[in-house]
């Protein structure tokens, strides 16, 4: 029978998952909020 507590203690995430997580969190992607901020800033500059 499996001892789940023992198995969890031995668990090591694969390097691929760690590398993917790092790439995702460190990637500076433009999201919709950035796009809207740029549009609003542009419109404000036009009005001045």
pLDDT of residue 6: 93
pTM: predicted TM-score of the whole model, two decimal places = 0.43
Closest Cα to residue 19, out of 27, 28, 7?
A: 27
pLDDT of residue 12: 84
Q: What is the pLDDT of residues 4-36, one digit of tens each?
A: 999 999 988 777 888 888 878 887 778 889 999
pLDDT at 45 over 90: yes
Q: Which two tokens stand for residue 45?
A: 């500059």
pLDDT of residue 35: 92
Alpha helix positions (H), the chain: 4-10, 15-26, 32-47
- Tell me the C-alpha distance between 34 and 42, whole Å: 12
pLDDT at 38 over 80: yes
Q: Which two tokens stand for residue 4?
A: 């789940």
Q: What is the CA radius of gyration of the chain?
A: 23
């Amino acid at each position: 029978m499996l001892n789940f507590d023992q198995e969890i203690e031995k668990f090591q995430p694969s390097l691929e998952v760690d590398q993917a997580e790092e790439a995702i969190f460190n990637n500076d992607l433009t999201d919709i909020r950035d796009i809207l901020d740029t549009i609003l800033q542009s419109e404000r500059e036009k009005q001045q």
